[in-house]
Chain A
Amino acid sequence: MAAQQMPSGSPVASEPDADGLRVDGLNAWYGQAQILHGVSLDVGPGEIIALLGRNGAGKTTTLRAIMGLVRRSARQLAFRGADIGPMPPFAIARRGLGYVPEDRRIFTDLTVDENLEAGRQPPRPGAPQWTPERLFELFPNLGRMRGRPGGAMSGGEQQMLAIARTLMGNPYMVLLDEPAEGLAPRLVEDMAAALLTLKREGLSLLVAEQNLNFARLLADRAHVLAGGATHFSGTMAELDADPAVRDALLAV
């Protein structure tokens, strides 16, 4: 059932979008194992896009492949008009594309302040600009533990630190891998509120998510992956309007 090709709900704009992320025909490998078989997606400026799919569908690998952290090939891999296909990860990050991995990967030996410093990059024209103080307004918990080592923080605090650390690079867009995973229910709501704040600041987000309800709270549009390929692209409303499609791709 996952093999059936879903018609695209909203056809992707035919105009090349110089400000967003455009991915077409993305393949990726771990060693010999091919994990992605032609993922296509796009994220426009200021949008929050959900990347949905069951576990194993290839969401994490898609984000890692965009960042250049796994071996990949693509027909198109463009960010703000530049081909990022040949670039190493640090160069992609320096173009203003941030990444927050699923397992957070906080520098556990470093304090909160030092983690933020490690993510700091010069301000970028047209992108929201962040200082530790501004980030502590967004995530008040972090401001109360600036000197604490990352390793001595709870999972939820680490998640906020991971996002704040990436924001210190003043990115135009952030790839977020399951930001709500492992958070207590109350923190999930806080996280959703924080992400919507980021959107209001003008940041674009591509959020890999398994929880449809969380995605509904945030996203304008969704791409749904199954078996390492894109099987649906459209608005959240279009996805909900077709329970058969939704269940085939997301439920058991």
Chain B
Amino acid sequence: MTMAHGPDELTIMLRERTASPPANPRRGEQAAARGRRALRRRRACGAALSAGAVAAVVALPGLTGDGGAPADVTPMSVRLPPAVPLPGTAGDLRLPLAASARYTHMGEPVRLTFTALSVDTVYNVRCSVPDSWLVVESESPGRETSIGRCGPQDHLAQYDRQSAGPAWAGRAHTWRLRVLPPGTRVDTATFTFGKVTVQPGAWAVGIYDRRR
């Protein structure tokens, strides 16, 4: 295919797209507050460890995974779908759905165990409630926690050889996933979040993979 543009057009496009940023006069103050909170947590964590305590840094309702909803469930007035469908394939490689799970409520942590068949594994989380928070923690050592918004668009991501690493393909992995209501206070700097309420809100997670 013929190359159509020069780098100047790229720069112009990038400038045009960012022409009207929303103002936030409190940004510095808010960022400093986040920093202070992170520092406090870090110090609290350090103090607890130095005292030999074995304790969770953040205690959240619903962490036991027993499926029981806490008493402060907030009813929602909007009509939500009872279940979220997942596409049969995903990604450029059109990988088939290898594992999936569907849930009807947000706020409860769930565990998902699957075996990676390749280094191209795709995961897709679909959330029915716009701007929900998605937290993905891996129980495999050395893998980062990922946190971001989910819904109305898919949260779709794919590993590659570099990000998967040598300990990915052919092994079982367990993830702990949480979809949190949009209003949950989340600190993306420290991967921590405030009080979580269990609410109706369908979501689904699919693992797409194919053995090479």
Do A and B assemble together? no
Residues of A within 8 A of B (CB): none
Residues of B within 8 A of A (CB): none
